[in-house]
Amino acid sequence: MEPNLLVLGGTLEATRLCRLLSEAGVRGTVSLAGRVAKPAAQALPLRVGGFGGTPGLAKYLATERITHVIDATHPFAAQMSANAVQACAEQGVPLIALTRAPWQETAADRWQRVPDIAGAVAALAGAPRRVMLAVGRMHLPEFTVNPQHFYLLRLVDPPAEQPGFPDHHVIVDRGPFGLEDDTALLQEHRIDVVVSKNSGGTGAFAKIAAARALGLPVVMIDRPHIPPRPETHIDEDVLRWLSHAGTERGV
Ligand code: NAP
């Protein structure tokens, strides 16, 4: 049967993978949640919006006769990834995740690792600081319990409403970001702590490297749990997997 893929996207890596799949002449659709106003151009046909939980996704897989699912969502998109594991198992559709290796702390880093967003909020209790808060728009309200800080916010879209911080500065920009620029940014705003998800990959690493270069502490949020599934960090593995998945599982 000719493959008909569903790529769960929303990352630079997914955009890159779709280009590779399109160049290889593979038929498929890429799905985005619809969180950003102007998503990056995609090399595969695009659908936008939630499926309606696991049952909605299972139904979509059946109706659209999807033969393979590639989960290339962000490592913090835990709900979508869990739904994909369950819906694919129910429908007998092979699934692979294209993920980024997490960033690793080196001797030159000053990380405080926290398990989740609530842990990061708790880590910011105390005296006023100048914080680069790089956790995405959705989680900003959770940080408003610490209004004593200055917050530097870098967002993909201009915020629809004012973030609830008395002292903040918004930069609207999307990755990939560079070390020189991020070092200059941290210096310009006299940042003394960076708060980041452990997203992994290269596109968002510059702020971590910049904090390392400047000797600044980083509150690093660990990744959420995702049920086990076949996984690779390498685009070409996905093509190799496509050529045999359905007859055997894994890469
Ligand atoms: P999430 O919490 O795991 O997902 C919540 C719900 O949003 C899902 O249950 C699903 O709705 C819908 N959804 C998520 N990704 C989708 C996709 N690719 N296509 C269709 N529906 C999707 O995910 P999230 O953290 O809100 O992330 C949303 C999107 O932004 C993802 O595509 C992710 O790759 C991207 N992103 C996330 C982050 C981050 O830090 N979380 C950072 C950069 C990019 P239904 O249950 O209705 O199907």
Q: Which domains does the chain have, with CATH numbers?
A: 4-100+225-244 (3.40.50.720), 111-221 (3.40.50.720)
- What is the distance in A from the centroid of ligand 1 to the CA of 34? 8
The pTM score is 0.93
**Residues of the chain with pLDDT > 70: what percent?**
98
- What is the distance in A from the centroid of ligand 1 to the CA of 80? 6
Ligand 1: which residue has its CA nearest to atom 35?
10
- What is the distance in A from the centroid of ligand 1 to the CA of 35? 8
pLDDT band at 245 (very low <50, low <70, confident <90, very high): confident
pLDDT tens-digit series, residues 80-128: 999 999 999 999 999 999 999 999 999 999 999 999 999 999 999 999 9
Ligand 1 pocket check for 35: Cβ under 6 Å: yes
For the cut 70, the answer to whether the pLDDT of residue 209 exceeds it is yes
Given this model, what pLDDT does residue 246 score? 66
Per the model's pLDDT, the better-predicted residue between 251 and 124 turns out to be: 124
For the cut 50, the answer to whether the pLDDT of residue 250 exceeds it is no
| Cα distances (angstroms) measured from residue 161 to each of 132, 195, 246 | 19, 22, 47
Given this model, what pLDDT does residue 247 score? 54
- What is the distance in A from the centroid of ligand 1 to the CA of 180? 30
- What is the distance in A from the centroid of ligand 1 to the CA of 33? 5
Average pLDDT estimate for 136-154? 96
For the cut 60, the answer to whether the pLDDT of residue 251 exceeds it is no
State which of 18, 73, 202 you would mutate to test the pocket of ligand 1, scoring each by most atoms of that ligand within 8 A of its C-beta. Answer: 73
What SS3 string covers the chain?
CCCCEEEECCCHHHHHHHHHHHHCCCCEEEEECCCCCCCCCCCCCEEECCCCHHHHHHHHHHHCCCCEEEECCCCCCHHHHHHHHHHHHHHCCCEEEECCCCCCCCCCCEEEEECCHHHHHHHCCCCCCEEEEECCHHHHHHHHHCCCCEEEEEECCCCCCCCCCCEEEEEECCCCCCHHHHHHHHHHCCCCEEEEECCCCCCCCHHHHHHHHHCCEEEEECCCCCCCCCEECCHHHHHHHHHHECCECCC
Given this model, what pLDDT does residue 2 score? 87
Per the model's pLDDT, the better-predicted residue between 246 and 51 turns out to be: 51
Ligand 1: which residue has its CA nearest to atom 38?
74
For the cut 70, the answer to whether the pLDDT of residue 70 exceeds it is yes
Ligand 1: which residue has its CA nearest to atom 42?
74
Per the model's pLDDT, the better-predicted residue between 156 and 169 turns out to be: 169
For the cut 60, the answer to whether the pLDDT of residue 248 exceeds it is no
Average pLDDT estimate for 183-210? 97
Average pLDDT estimate for 216-238? 97
- What is the distance in A from the centroid of ligand 1 to the CA of 85? 14
79 Cα nearest atom in ligand 1: 3
Ligand 1: which residue has its CA nearest to atom 8?
80
For the cut 50, the answer to whether the pLDDT of residue 244 exceeds it is yes
Ligand 1 pocket check for 32: Cβ under 6 Å: yes
State which of 42, 64, 79 you would mutate to test the pocket of ligand 1, scoring each by most atoms of that ligand within 8 A of its C-beta. Answer: 79
- What is the distance in A from the centroid of ligand 1 to the CA of 249? 25
Given this model, what pLDDT does residue 140 score? 96
For the cut 90, the answer to whether the pLDDT of residue 1 exceeds it is no
**Residues of the chain with pLDDT > 90: what percent?**
92
Average pLDDT estimate for 36-43? 93
pLDDT band at 175 (very low <50, low <70, confident <90, very high): confident
